[in-house]
Amino acid sequence: MTIGNGSSFSVARFWAMTVKEFIQMTRDRVTLATMIMIPVMQLLLFGFAINTTPHNLPTAVLMRESSDVGRSILAALENTDFFEIRSVVTRSEDMDALLQSGEVLFVVEIPEGFERALRRGDTPSLLIAADATDPVASGSALGALSGVIQSALANDRQIEFTEPNPPLFEIVQHRRYNPAGLSTLNIVPGLLGTILTMTLLIFTALAVTREVERGTMENLLSMPITPLEIMFGKIAPYVIIGLIQALIIIGAGLFVFGVPVLGDPLSLVVVTLLFVVANLSIGYTFSTVASNQLQAVQMAMMFFLPNILLSGFMFPFAGMPHWAQWIGEALPLTHYIRVVRAIMLKGANMGDLTHDTLALCFLTLVAMLIAVRRFRRTLD
């Protein structure tokens, strides 16, 4: 076969070029691993970890009275895989604290005199308070809750009704923090963390590899400067950029999408600062491992994929299997989304969110320590 320059197509030359590309591909182990791991990771995460019908949702029961009916409802909730009873309380203040801190997503309130009203054949009300900051999780669970309690009471042999098949009770749903179930109230705070993660990881993932490829790393290594000083000097400008990005996103959410900021603005700034430093430190670590900018970007995207899928941004966190939730708990974005949603939509502050705030501090410290230790004092 003759090609454009007059020479004929050679199978031998074609084969030699193919072998050369395979050899070069195997030498770039990071790229090869990325090409193999990304589809495997996507298959595992979408196939096993993602579930749009959440189960084992953290739930509390507010017992206004101690009765057989109350115990029957509690047992029914414990026996279903939709709900996981985390606490049984007797005061409204405890219920409010559990919902605001995010420790539970639902509270079933059994009012005083509920059993007596059932035995009289009345139709008493049962209050269900739901954390509606995640409309997908709360909507499907509220739909299942009525059937679970109805079945529990219908099978309770101690209750005799005055009429055949009367309506047992009326469920009064209180969707807290997002009564209308608007998706924008859920998405915009999550986008704040997701956008910061994507941009800051890529920015700093290129920090060291850019110096190596441009040949300016030798100048840095010859200076009387420590790895910690180099790292802080490189990420400091991006901290400011990250805070500016956060301000733009929050402003757009407030004035364009109508997402309120009900909590302490200072708490929001401090938590955002922690989150920005955590992502910059992780990206800086990638830059110390990668040998070129392409590898650094590939590592950043590999890290970004589980962040967006396992943090509770796209899919309900409570619906994931336990192993996926363990991975999600190790990601800064998971804790940041919880804190931001609580501050913006629930009016909480860092004192109400101790667990997630401390987890974010810990992950930030670990990322910074790894980044400093990984910095190479000499060129390979």
**Which tens digits make up the pLDDT trace of 94-105?**
888 888 888 888
* d(C-alpha 273, C-alpha 344), whole Å: 16
Q: Where are the domains of the chain?
A: 57-176, 183-374
* d(C-alpha 367, C-alpha 94), whole Å: 35
**Which tens digits make up the pLDDT trace of 194-220?**
999 988 988 888 877 877 777 777 677
Beta-strand ranges (E) seen in 38-120 are 57-63, 83-89, 106-110
* d(C-alpha 270, C-alpha 351), whole Å: 12
**Which tens digits make up the pLDDT trace of 150-191?**
666 666 544 544 444 555 677 788 888 888 778 888 888 999
* d(C-alpha 167, C-alpha 164), whole Å: 9
**Which tens digits make up the pLDDT trace of 298-313?**
888 889 988 988 888 8
Binned at pLDDT 50, 70 and 90, residue 32 comes out as: low
- For the chain, helix (H) and strand (E) counts, in that order, are 15, 5
Name the least confident of 36-45, 253-262, 283-292, 364-373. Answer: 36-45
Q: What's the token pair of residue 182?
A: 């608007």
Q: How confident is the model at residue 50, as a pLDDT?
A: 63
Name residues whose C-beta falls within 8 Å of residue 96's C-beta, 6 or more positions apart in sequence.
none
Q: Which of 278, 213, 209, 210 is nearest to 242 (CA)?
A: 278
Q: How confident is the model at residue 41, as a pLDDT?
A: 66
Q: Please say if the pLDDT value at position 127 is more than 90.
A: no
Cα distance between the two ends of the chain: 45
Q: What's the token pair of residue 193?
A: 């963390």
Q: Is pLDDT larger for residue 353 or for residue 218?
A: 353
Q: Is pLDDT larger for residue 58 or for residue 48?
A: 58
Q: Are 261 and 254 in contact (CB under 8 A)?
A: yes
Fold classified for 57-176: abc type-2 transporter like fold (3.40.1710)
Q: How many CB atoms lie within 10 A of CB 244?
A: 10
Residue 275 sits at the vertex; the CA angle it makes with 296 and 99, to the nearest 5 degrees, is 135
